[in-house]
């Protein structure tokens, strides 16, 4: 049997294959995923409810594994006393009441014009939570929204990725200097090879604390503004204390599913959820049971279909046979 992550590189490198993804309206959970409790509200209002919203299937196997990543976070948060994690699939809850009273909301999903929060009623619901000082954690591409929503989104998260100055891509990163913050307790210097990153965001003028920063290759600087900062360490994760007292954390990594196996990244994200929810973070950071086999669980169904080759255009002046209708 090919090991899990070797299997990823085999699939990702296949030629003559195309990924046929389900559309958001067609997304279907696997039999394994259907065993994970969804939208299970807290039985006790004293518990801090943290809602984890997973986007619909996206990208290649072992990339953008939104459901599997959120299911892992749910499992780990179950180990934290006083916390009640709620898992939501398909980008938005079927029962919006599970969002009521949430101490924090995490969104792990496609961004830009694919962001599942953009429908006006959903946007208004998130705005209401932000007004109530709920925490907000956005992962990977979810830090990008269309230009029309960028300013308000920045006021929630403390930063927003836009294509005017932002850059993105895959490369090795190393986080060698870890600042002191509740979200970084117990986090040691770590490497994140070949993950996907977004950087050079529009940051809020005040209230932002960089948490993880590192060198990026100059070849990854795709905009004029990004190129003007060649050699600068780029902020990949940050904390934001909103003027109304709410807390937010952004992290632009988490493209690769293997990243949940990196202890410091895992601890950083769990710490960030507690901090954003206004909860105490243990002095050594959140420590949970780790089983490498869990990385193989609850993966999305991502189907590869053969590419259809385009027929060569006929030479100029050549006769074209009539179409045959069957």
In order of their start, the domains of the chain are 14-161+247-306 (3.40.50)
* Sign of the Cα pseudo-torsion (161, 139, 84, 32, in order): positive
Query: Residue 188: is its pLDDT beyond 80?
Result: yes
Q: How confident is the model at residue 308 (pLDDT cuts 50, 70, 90)?
A: low
Q: What is the mean pLDDT of residues 82-91?
A: 98
Q: What is the mean pLDDT of residues 199-203?
A: 98
First to last CA, the chain: 43
Q: Could you give the percent of the chain with pLDDT greater than 70? A: 85
Helix (H) or strand (E) holding 227, with range, is helix 224-227
Query: Residue 106: is its pLDDT beyond 90?
Result: yes
Q: How far is CA 272 from the centre of its chain?
A: 14
76-105 per-residue burial string, b: 16 or more CB within 10 A, e: under 16: bbeebeebbbbbbbbbbbeeeebbeebbbb
- C-alpha dist (Å) from residue 233 to 139, 179, 194: 20, 14, 17
**Verdict on whether the full-model pTM lies above 0.85:** yes
At 20 the pLDDT is 43
What angle is formed at CA 75 by the lines to CA 39 and CA 34, rounded to 5 degrees? Answer: 50
On whether the CB atoms of residues 217 and 250 are closer than 8 A, the answer is no
At 177 the pLDDT is 95
CB count within 10 Å of CB 47 equals 14
Q: To the nearest whole number, what is the mean pLDDT of the chain?
A: 89
Cα separation of 206 and 67, whole Å? 33
* Predicted confidence (pLDDT) per residue in 112-144, tens digit: 999 999 999 999 999 999 999 999 999 999 999
At 302 the pLDDT is 85
At 317 the pLDDT is 46
On whether the CB atoms of residues 161 and 201 are closer than 8 A, the answer is yes
At 69 the pLDDT is 98
On whether the CB atoms of residues 280 and 274 are closer than 8 A, the answer is yes
Q: What is the mean pLDDT of residues 211-236?
A: 97
């Amino acid at each position: 049997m090919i090991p899990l992550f070797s299997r990823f590189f085999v699939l990702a490198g296949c030629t003559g294959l195309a990924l046929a993804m389900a559309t958001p309206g067609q997304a279907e959970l696997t039999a394994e995923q259907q065993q994970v409790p969804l939208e299970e509200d807290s039985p006790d209002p004293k518990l801090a409810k943290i809602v984890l919203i997973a986007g619909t299937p996206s990208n290649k196997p072992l990339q953008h594994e939104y459901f599997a990543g959120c299911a892992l976070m749910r499992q780990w948060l179950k180990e934290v006393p006083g916390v009640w994690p709620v898992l939501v699939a398909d980008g938005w809850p079927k029962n919006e009441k599970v969002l009521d009273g949430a101490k924090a909301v995490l969104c792990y999903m496609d961004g830009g014009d694919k962001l599942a929060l953009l429908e006006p009623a959903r946007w208004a619901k998130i705005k209401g939570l932000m007004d109530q000082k709920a925490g907000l954690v956005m992962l990977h591409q979810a830090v990008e929204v269309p230009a029309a929503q960028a300013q308000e989104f920045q006021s929630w998260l403390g930063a927003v990725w836009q294509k005017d100055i932002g850059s993105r891509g895959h490369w090795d990163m190393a986080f060698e200097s870890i600042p002191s913050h509740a979200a970084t307790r117990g986090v040691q210097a770590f490497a994140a090879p070949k993950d996907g990153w977004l950087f050079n965001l529009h940051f809020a003028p005040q209230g932002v604390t960089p948490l993880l920063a590192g060198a990026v290759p100059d070849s990854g600087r795709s905009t004029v503004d990004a190129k003007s900062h060649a050699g600068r360490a780029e902020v990949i994760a940050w904390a934001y204390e909103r003027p109304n007292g709410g807390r937010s954390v952004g992290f632009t990594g988490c493209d690769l599913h293997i990243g949940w196996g990196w202890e410091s990244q895992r601890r950083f994200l769990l710490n960030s959820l507690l901090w954003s929810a206004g909860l105490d973070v243990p002095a050594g950071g959140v420590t949970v049971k780790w089983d490498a086999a869990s990385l193989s669980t609850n993966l999305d169904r991502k189907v590869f279909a053969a590419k259809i080759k385009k027929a060569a255009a006929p030479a100029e002046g050549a006769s074209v046979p009539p179409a045959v209708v069957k």
